[in-house]
Amino acid sequence: MRYLILSDIHGNWEALEAVLRDAGSDFDEILCCGDLVGYGADPNRVVDWARSRVKTVVRGNHDKACAGLDGLEWFNPAARDAALWTRQTLTSRNLEFLRRLPQGPVAMDSFQLLHGSPLDEDEYLVSTFAVAQIVDYLERPISFFGHTHLQGGFLCYRNSVKRLDRPHLGETRRIIELEHNPFYLINPGSVGQPRDGDPRAAYLAYDSENRLVEFRRVPYDVRKSQEKIRGAGLPALLADRLELGS
Ligand code: ZN
């Protein structure tokens, strides 16, 4: 099977559109590691798309908060304002869809999908130290995760954890051939709000038969997304950060 694996779209329609155009039809299924909404100005458009096109979405912390399943006290002020705006803007059908999203990890055939960590969808797996603590809780040798908005991930051997390489600025692709023994935690990066210093939308393609992961980056119309965020009255910071990729 050939999968497109997306995460952290965050209501950014322009970024999602660019990803789908870039991916073409060269895949069998689309999967999402959570956070369809929050921050961006097009939550309904993104959720409408997810309802009809995405095979499996695991719930992200913003999906949970925007659906009213969680309080907003852990969010910073900009995220909180955006979550309230999103909650008011979503149609009842889309709110219901978010409320029913499964909490990860969700097991697929040979791999699993999760948002933050296998223990807590709100936990950020950023350091090799943090990853070493949770390796024993991985129920599949390959896990796709999100939440950090950092494309790449980790290769976990019995006694060590290494970082996976990702496309550098100026590159659009990086292919990784998966080995059989280690455990992998793989992050497609964020479609709608990258934070790794590269403002291009991030995603990945996974060919499960040939065990190939291809990290991809694609530029999109950042200015249009920014105009929509400002036009909706969402915090200006959420527009500003898109062009920085931070
Ligand atoms: Zn997110």
Instruction: Domain 2-243: state its class.
Output: alpha beta
- Which amino acid type is present at position 120? D
Nearest CA to 173 out of 218, 212, 221 is that of: 218
Domain extents for the chain?
Answer: 2-243
- What strands, in cross-sheet order, belong to the sheet with 142-144? 106-107, 111-113, 142-144, 183-187, 152-156, 161-163
How far away, in angstroms, is 91 Cα from ligand 1 center? 21
How far away, in angstroms, is 155 Cα from ligand 1 center? 22
pLDDT of residue 11: 98
How far away, in angstroms, is 189 Cα from ligand 1 center? 10
CB 81 within 8 A of CB 235: yes
Count other Cβ atoms within 10 Å, centred on residue 159.
6
Torsion of CA 13, 15, 18, 22, to 10 degrees: -130
Predicted TM-score (pTM) of this structure: 0.96
CB 85 within 8 A of CB 41: no
CB 149 within 8 A of CB 157: no
Distance between CA atoms of residues 88 and 79, nearest Å: 14
pLDDT of residue 61: 95
Measured CA distances, 220 to 108, 167, 193 (Å):
30, 17, 11
How far away, in angstroms, is 194 Cα from ligand 1 center? 9
pLDDT of residue 48: 98
Cα atoms in the Cβ-side hemisphere of radius 13 Å centred on 97 = 21
How far away, in angstroms, is 62 Cα from ligand 1 center? 7
Nearest CA to 35 out of 73, 71, 67, 2 is that of: 67
How far away, in angstroms, is 162 Cα from ligand 1 center? 23
Distance between CA atoms of residues 218 and 10, nearest Å: 16
pLDDT of residue 107: 96
Cis peptide before 105 (omega within 30 of 0): yes
Q: What H or E segment, with its residue span, contains residue 67? A: none
pLDDT of residue 72: 86
Nearest CA to 176 out of 202, 134, 138, 210 is that of: 210
Q: What H or E segment, with its residue span, contains residue 115? A: none
Q: What is the pLDDT along the chain (246 residues), one digit of tens a residue?
A: 999 999 999 999 999 999 999 999 989 999 999 999 999 999 999 999 999 999 999 999 999 999 989 888 888 999 999 999 999 999 999 999 999 999 999 999 899 999 999 999 999 999 999 999 999 999 999 999 999 999 999 999 988 999 998 899 889 999 999 999 899 999 999 999 999 999 999 999 999 999 999 999 999 999 999 999 999 999 999 999 999 999
Residue with tokens 């996974």: 206
pLDDT of residue 7: 98
How far away, in angstroms, is 127 Cα from ligand 1 center? 17
pLDDT of residue 197: 94
How far away, in angstroms, is 109 Cα from ligand 1 center? 25
Token pair, residue 230, equals 């400002």
